Structure 1
Amino acid sequence: MKRVEQVMGLPVSVDVRDQGDHRSSIERVFAWLHEADRRFSPFRADSEVSRFDRGDLTVSELSDDLLDILMICDHYERLSGGAFTARIPGRPLDPNAVTKGWAVQRAARLLEADGLKVFCVNAGGDVVTSGEPEPGRGWRIGIRHPELRDEICAVVEWSDGAVATSASYERGEHIFDGRTGRPADGLLSVTIAAEDLLRADALATAAFAMGDEGIDWAASQPGCAVLIVDTDRRVHRSSGLKLL
């Protein structure tokens, strides 16, 4: 069973390969993602994120979920030496680099809680996978070419984990280096495969924000595999990343 909806400004697909009728499980996934978008989008004036940013809410009034998101943002800001941040001076609070991965990973856990074993949740190219869609074969994830809109630069095979890509081709210069406050440069795209999408997405964004130094930094993170294209069109790849 497969379903696609526009959520969080992205096409999100849920592809379930377990036998049976799983429409109710998929419905819960999309209900949760729409809820997360309403509550945490910095682009919605009535979201909890926007209300907190305006000063309409104090820290003591925040939900446990938003407190969790902000704590995770702070963790990756420290881990990246300040390159990753949700708080660029002069710009609205924007925890999206954590929120999307956090929300989609939780959506995958809803499927797991319903006993599903073989599925893929794809949120605009950031993907959570479980099981094998065919015996002996993992899920095949296309990585968009960073400069050619309709081209794929690589296909990654991955099972029981997540793959996330950060680049500027969809939203323009939306990733900033928190150390300078300027748009990140030095890299065209960063793809990271990890055990869950929250970590893969946050690390990919942090590495992209770091520029050239993000190449070695990302490769040094435990339990991760990377595929990075720099502005000289050189490809940097972990040996543990299976490409087809």
Structure 2
Amino acid sequence: MDGIFGGFEDLVVPRLEEHLGQTDLSFGGKLLPALKICEDGGESGCGGKVWIAGELLCEYVLEKSNDHLLSKTIHGKRPFKKVLELGSGTGLVGLCVGLLEKNKFHDNTKVYVTDIDKLVPLMERNIQLDKVQYEVLARELWWGEPLSADFSPQEGDLQTNNVDLVLAADCVYLEKAFPLLERTLLDLTNCISPPVILMAYKKRRKADKQFFNKIKKNFDVLEITDFIKFNYYLKQKTHLFQLVRKCSPRSGA
């Protein structure tokens, strides 16, 4: 595992504005009580910090969720019973969804925040800090590795997927991880009715285009612009996409 992911901690230069220690995040009062996130100041790598793409994804979820999760989007009638966040780091986005479930929706939605093994303790710490132990679970998930039974389509039945919604923020950053992330996205959508995938991304290097150009073989990459703070995040080169699987796995994709 170290041979594949060695150097994962040296991904990008941290943005200057960091949230070190325990930070309350209410997103302009849209999330009350405010989310509490404890960061480790980079002790566990870049994943142990709050990043701007995660903030964007939280803003979008909060704005577009009224009676239930993402109720004010084209997916509004779809029930999201199992939510998976990839590359969760601190668990920011998954915890945001978990707090909505606990304090507002009560839809029996389970949220899984996932990352490499060394970040699981930090995610668990934040789960306890926000008191969402019932709604949010921390799990180890290495991109490119076979999915666990919790997340893969049911054995022998490609029509059913265990996951309804996939969230990813700032997951496109290390070139050698591009094919691993793509493999995981393909595995998660290897079913007739794939999960909704929302990906927030901050443009940092020209090489990032390689990832999006590559996945366009199997995914439509649709930019989402219909949210209040779109221009604010655009000025910071931070974007939100929906990834839609093109081909049925039965066709050999």
TM-score with structure 2 setting the length: 0.26
TM-score with structure 1 setting the length: 0.27
